[in-house]
């Protein structure tokens, strides 16, 4: 089966391409690096010719509110139009657990707009809603830092490994369209403040973690379950401690 992965040279996309290839599928890594640009449409028709499935794990180069909205709306419209012309039968997109709970967050609002376009298109689809990735934990801590201290709310947090995200996306891509969503998350649930306290200690990072109920997550104040899935989520297998050890040793 020919499966085109938009954003196929990135963190998750490259892992999805590898899994598809391992299982005998014709996986095409499509990104500006390989001559495919969803914003301009360059290379889309050629890449999608003969494809049965398209997986979109692309991301905006800017997280500024207007820029990220423009990226996801323009990219998704161009991609869906090209898929319809090519006769693609399944569109898979990665989104975020809790997008609808934090509409004031510019990035989440852009993902909601992207999902709406997918849901309203004629192409059967599957939406994979993931929690935060282990790979982004340092960036989250840095964004939450003020005057040398990491300010984090005591809310629930259930991050997951990029490898587990890729496995879930692979399963969605080779499966039947859901015409709906599946939620995926890590195998462990933490208090967000406690997770970062443990993580910074493991990194050898001396910054103090301050528990602050009003601490903002990329501009949004969180409630207890803003970032965690509901019942029935598919859980990954890799625990954060094990992921840290693997990555520290290059495994």
For 236-241, what is the mean pLDDT? 96
For 172-178, what is the mean pLDDT? 98
For 234-239, what is the mean pLDDT? 97
Integer Cα distance of 133 and 147 in angstroms: 25
Integer Cα distance of 1 and 24 in angstroms: 8
| DSSP track, 128-164 | EEE--BGGGHHHHHHHTEETTEEEE-S-EE--B-HHH
What is the spatial order of strands in the sheet that 234-235 belongs to? 26-30, 2-6, 53-56, 90-96, 125-130, 180-185, 234-235
Q: Which residues contact 250 (CB under 8 A, 6 or more apart)?
A: none
Q: What ranges do the domains of the chain cover?
A: 2-248
Q: What is the pLDDT of residue 249?
A: 54
Mean pLDDT, rounded, of the chain? 95
List, for residues 87-139, the tens digit of each pLDDT value: 999 999 999 999 999 888 999 999 999 999 999 999 999 999 999 999 999 99
The count of C-alpha atoms lying within 13 angstroms of the C-alpha of 124, restricted to the half-sphere facing its C-beta, is 12
Indicate if the pLDDT at residue 250 is higher than 80: no
Q: What is the pLDDT of residue 193?
A: 97
Q: What is the pLDDT of residue 251?
A: 46
Indicate if the pLDDT at residue 218 is higher than 80: yes
Q: What is the pLDDT of residue 63?
A: 86
For 30-51, what is the mean pLDDT? 96
Q: What is the pLDDT of residue 219?
A: 87
Indicate if the pLDDT at residue 169 is higher than 80: yes
Integer Cα distance of 123 and 125 in angstroms: 6
Q: What would you report as the CA-atom Rg of the chain, rounded to the nearest whole angstrom?
A: 18
Q: Which fold has domain 2-248?
A: Rossmann fold (3.40.50)
Residue 67 phi/psi, 5-degree rounding, is -70, -45
Coil, helix or strand for 122?
coil
For 143-160, what is the mean pLDDT? 97
The closest alpha carbon to 236, from 158, 157, 164, belongs to 164
Indicate if the pLDDT at residue 83 is higher than 50: yes
Indicate if the pLDDT at residue 19 is higher than 90: yes
Indicate if the pLDDT at residue 248 is higher than 80: no
Q: Which residues contact 179 (CB under 8 A, 6 or more apart)?
A: 124, 125, 126
The closest alpha carbon to 82, from 4, 146, 154, belongs to 4
């Amino acid at each position: 089966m020919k499966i085109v992965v938009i954003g196929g040279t990135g963190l998750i996309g490259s892992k999805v391409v590898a899994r598809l290839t391992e299982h005998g599928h014709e996986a095409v890594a499509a990104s500006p690096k390989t001559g495919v640009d969803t914003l301009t449409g360059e290379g889309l028709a050629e890449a999608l010719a003969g494809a049965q499935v398209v997986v979109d794990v692309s991301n905006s180069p800017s997280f500024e509110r207007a820029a990220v909205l423009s990226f996801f709306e323009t990219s998704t419209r161009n991609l869906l139009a090209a898929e319809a012309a090519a006769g693609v039968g399944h569109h898979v997109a990665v989104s975020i657990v809790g997008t609808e709970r934090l509409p004031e967050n510019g990035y989440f609002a852009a993902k909601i707009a992207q999902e709406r376009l997918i849901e309203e298109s004629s192409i059967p689809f599957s939406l994979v809603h993931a929690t935060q990735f282990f790979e982004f934990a340092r960036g989250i801590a840095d964004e939450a830092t003020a005057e040398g201290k990491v300010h984090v709310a005591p809310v629930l947090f259930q991050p997951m490994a990029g490898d587990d995200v890729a496995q879930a996306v692979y399963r969605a891509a080779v499966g039947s369209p859901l015409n709906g969503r599946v939620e995926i998350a890590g195998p462990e649930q933490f208090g967000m403040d406690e997770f970062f306290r443990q993580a910074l200690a493991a990194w050898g990072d001396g910054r103090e973690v301050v528990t602050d109920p009003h601490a903002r997550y990329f501009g949004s104040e969180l409630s207890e379950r803003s970032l965690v899935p509901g019942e029935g989520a598919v859980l990954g297998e890799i625990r954060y401690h094990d992921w840290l050890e693997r990555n520290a040793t290059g495994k």
